[in-house]
Amino acid sequence: MVSPFTLNGKKAPSLITWMWGAGLITIWVLFSPSSLLIFALGMLPSLVAFFIDRTDHKYAVYCVSGLNFCGTLPFLLKLTADHSLSAAMEIMGDVFTIAIIFAAAGFGWMLFLSIPPVITAFLTVITETRVKSLKTIQQRIVHEWGGSVIEENGSNKGMHTDVEDPTEANEGTPAVPE
């Protein structure tokens, strides 16, 4: 049997999927062309994000589309009073409508571009704190058990063994918990 056409290692959408999509859009055009007009024009920044984002997971599309939909939804809800194409064109003809929709999408881009560096810095601080804590624990183990616990295979790189021996500080008594 012939394997399905793949795109970037993923299975391409089947003909059935395309037919379902075309059928739903056709039904939407027949029953609510005004809301389709607002939705199609309002979600254009999401389409741009889909084509710009070349990663496999499409995180930019998620960020931009979610906030773009939030910017478009109030204008879709305005159609409940007058559900006609002229009302939809009047809504989309307003400059402030377009500004609000594109500002919401722009906020999605801002989140997509600004959050990863913040998370990276946060994880770096957590990792450095954990390394410092582990080095302190390692020093306590060396002081308690002596330098013989350190292997000679080079695994003690970065190990600080220059701290004074606790047995000398306690006048010859070993540092053993009581």
Q: Tell me the per-residue pLDDT of 152-177, one tens digit each, with 9 for 90 and over.
A: 555 555 555 555 554 444 444 444 44
Cα dihedral 143/133/160/165 (nearest 10): -20
Contacts of 108 (CB under 8 A, 6+ apart): 45, 49, 63, 64, 65, 66, 67, 68
Length of the chain: 178
Enumerate residue ranges in the chain where pLDDT < 50: 1, 166-178
pLDDT of residue 164: 53
Q: What is the pLDDT of residue 168?
A: 47
- pLDDT recorded at residue 22: 87
Report the Cα 37 to chain-centroid distance in Å: 30
Phi, psi angle pair for 141, to nearest 5°: -65, -40
pLDDT at 17: 85
Q: What is the pLDDT of residue 170?
A: 46
Report helix, strand or coil for 7.
strand
Position 13 scores a pLDDT of: 75
The share of the chain scoring above pLDDT 90, in percent, equals 51
Tokens of 96: 């402030």
Q: What's residue 161's pLDDT?
A: 54
